[in-house]
């Protein structure tokens, strides 16, 4: 305890998760740390869930609003959702139980750009935050908080909340201390200052968070690791997608439009994104840099291999093997990885200035280049937009990647019209599937449609898409800028909902 909680006075606040959960009452809004399965509290959420179940057993209401950095894990979002005690949730999740609760209408979910979260907290849109529950790796002699593997909105959470509960996790490497870069204030408009990051690895703040010590009501010790999901080895589709992106980079470097070490790379969550980074291990680019929300296995391996010189993120989300490599190499990595609050990581200002190359996965794209990242068949929430919008709109190059079909071919990921819009045709520069790539820059909608159908759609759906597009172009009373058959545009989704297959039989 003395090593991890170095402030003697704060040691008086050490208690069990159950005792700490007593600070959380029905109807409260709670800021909970956590970003893509990293940096979330491991013990207090279960204690809250048990409290909720007991209250429900007595016939009493118990539900709270939860605002995190991004997704957490089964022992955080999962247990709370299973106890049916999450009335409101924002801004990103990926937990199956919580997802079911959202889609069943039990949890109100605000899906939003991650770069907006801290601002909306300050603006008071969530009401007052009664409690913040955060994970830390240590507390210094002066009571400064050292986050663990993820920061997300944590800095704002401790500022906004009336009471703060800190889980000090002894399973997290104490040597994380020093890897964070946390700024305390950039001010508010009209006096807001520029974020002075001109290189992806610049340090602009202090390596800890400050918190009014009187607000810290509980310190709970935990010793279990982060979610650490395993990545699937890149499959053929992912490898094909990765190869095309790397070919494109080669081409741009040769043409003098990209520096030899490319530009800072952002990679979204998931296997395909990870495969692109894995592909860069064997590509002829050195001194790469990363400027991303979540640093996963692929980027870690580039750094360890000496291909990437430094990376900035808001969270480290590794498979168990990669976590081992991270811990084994932490001395080497300490001056190559920096973790920042998501308000800086995802800042449009910084992303635009650095010229970040954004690579994110999608659910579907339409023939004109609009992208749906969040809703299955237009109504069911998958995870959320996360940071994909922050990066896509402001990127130097914005890529969307996906296999051309889902569910064994029953779903085409290229459709006449997206069933939900997350990224508009104005933001999306490249669509890449295992079939090919469409470079949409400098193209009008009908030119884009031809490219997307011919290059990206699966052969099983190409004729069906050509037929739709042809008839739309020839239909009466249809504008020829973005031709659509409005009554038919979403019929592919309706067909899937009714028959389980988008193909016309």
Which stretches of the chain bind ligand 0RQ, using CB under 6 A? Answer: 36, 70, 92, 268-272, 293-294, 360-364, 373, 376, 382-383, 385-388, 403, 406-407, 411, 413
Nearer to ligand 0RQ, 234 or 403 (CB): 403
Nearer to ligand 0RQ, 48 or 376 (CB): 376
Percentages of the chain per state (helix, strand, coil), in multiples of 5? 35, 20, 45
Helices (H), 375-418: 388-394
CB of 99 to ligand 0RQ, least distance (A): 11
CA-to-CA distance for 199 and 289, rounded, in angstroms? 9
CA-to-CA distance for 396 and 358, rounded, in angstroms? 8
CB of 244 to ligand 0RQ, least distance (A): 16
Q: Determine contact, residues 180/127, Cβ cutoff 8 Å.
A: no
CB of 347 to ligand 0RQ, least distance (A): 14
As given in the structure block, the two tokens for residue 95 are: 């937990």
CB of 413 to ligand 0RQ, least distance (A): 5
Nearer to ligand 0RQ, 46 or 238 (CB): 238
CA-to-CA distance for 78 and 73, rounded, in angstroms? 6
Closest CA to 432 of 397, 470, 383: 397
Q: Determine contact, residues 136/149, Cβ cutoff 8 Å.
A: no
Note if 293 is an active site residue.
yes
Helices (H), 42-151: 44-57, 79-82, 96-103, 117-123
Nearer to ligand 0RQ, 134 or 272 (CB): 272
With b for 16 or more beta-carbon neighbours within 10 A and e for fewer, the 11-46 pattern comes to: eebbbebeebbebbeeebbbbbbbbbbbbbbbbbbb
CB of 53 to ligand 0RQ, least distance (A): 29
CB of 409 to ligand 0RQ, least distance (A): 11
Nearer to ligand 0RQ, 270 or 279 (CB): 270
As given in the structure block, the two tokens for residue 389 are: 């919008």
* Position of minimal CB gap to ligand 0RQ: 386
Given 293, 343, 364, 434, which residue is catalytic? 293
Nearer to ligand 0RQ, 260 or 407 (CB): 407
Cα separations in angstroms, 293 against 35, 69, 270, 356: 9, 11, 13, 12
Residue positions annotated with a catalytic role: 293
């Amino acid at each position: 305890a003395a090593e991890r909680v170095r402030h003697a006075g704060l040691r008086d606040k050490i208690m069990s998760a159950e005792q700490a959960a007593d600070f959380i009452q029905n109807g409260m809004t709670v800021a909970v740390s956590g970003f893509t399965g990293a940096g979330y509290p491991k013990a207090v959420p279960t204690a809250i869930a048990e409290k909720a179940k007991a209250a429900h057993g007595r016939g009493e209401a118990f539900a709270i609003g939860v605002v995190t950095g991004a997704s957490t894990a089964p022992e955080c979002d999962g247990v709370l959702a299973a106890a049916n005690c999450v009335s409101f949730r924002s801004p990103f999740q990926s937990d199956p139980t919580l997802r079911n609760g959202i889609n069943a209408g039990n949890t109100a979910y605000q899906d939003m750009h991650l770069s907006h979260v801290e601002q909306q907290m300050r603006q008071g849109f969530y009401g007052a935050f009664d409690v913040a529950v955060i994970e830390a790796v240590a507390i210094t002699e002066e009571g400064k908080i050292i986050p663990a593997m993820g920061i997300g909105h944590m800095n704002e959470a401790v500022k906004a909340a009336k009471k703060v509960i800190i889980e000090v996790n002894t399973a997290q490497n104490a040597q994380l201390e020093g890897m964070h870069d946390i700024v305390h204030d950039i001010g508010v408009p009209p006096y807001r200052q520029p974020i002075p990051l001109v290189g992806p690895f610049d340090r602009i703040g202090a390596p800890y968070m400050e918190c009014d010590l009187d607000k810290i009501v509980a310190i709970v010790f935990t010793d279990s690791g982060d979610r650490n999901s395993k990545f699937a080895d890149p499959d053929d589709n992912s490898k094909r997608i990765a190869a095309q992106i790397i070919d494109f980079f080669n081409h741009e470097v040769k043409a003098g439009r990209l520096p030899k070490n490319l530009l800072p790379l952002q990679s979204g969550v998931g296997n395909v994104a990870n495969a692109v980074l894995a592909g860069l291990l064997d590509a002829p680019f050195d001194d790469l840099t990363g400027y991303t929300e979540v640093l996963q296995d692929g980027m870690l391996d580039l750094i360890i291999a000496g291909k990437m010189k430094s990376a900035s993120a808001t969270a480290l989300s590794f498979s168990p093997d990669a976590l081992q490599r991270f811990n084994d190499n932490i001395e080497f990595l300490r001056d190559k990885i920096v973790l920042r609050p998501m308000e800086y990581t995802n800042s449009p200002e910084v992303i635009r200035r650095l010229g970040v190359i954004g690579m994110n996965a999608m659910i579907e794209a339409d023939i004109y280049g609009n992208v749906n990242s969040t809703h299955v068949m237009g109504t069911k929430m998958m995870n959320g937009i996360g940071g994909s919008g922050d990066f896509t709109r402001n990127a130097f190059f914005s890529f969307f990647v996906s296999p051309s079909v889902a569910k064994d071919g029953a779903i085409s990921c290229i459709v006449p019209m997206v069933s939900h819009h997350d990224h508009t045709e104005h933001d999306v520069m490249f669509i890449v599937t295992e079939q090919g790539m469409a470079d949409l820059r400098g193209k009008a909608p009908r030119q884009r449609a031809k490219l997307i159908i011919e290059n990206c759609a699966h052969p099983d759906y190409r004729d069906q898409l050509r037929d739709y597009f042809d008839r739309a172009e020839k239909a009466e009373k249809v504008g020829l800028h973005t031709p659509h058959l409005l009554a038919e545009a979403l019929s592919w989704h309706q067909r899937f909902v009714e028959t389980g297959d988008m193909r016309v039989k």
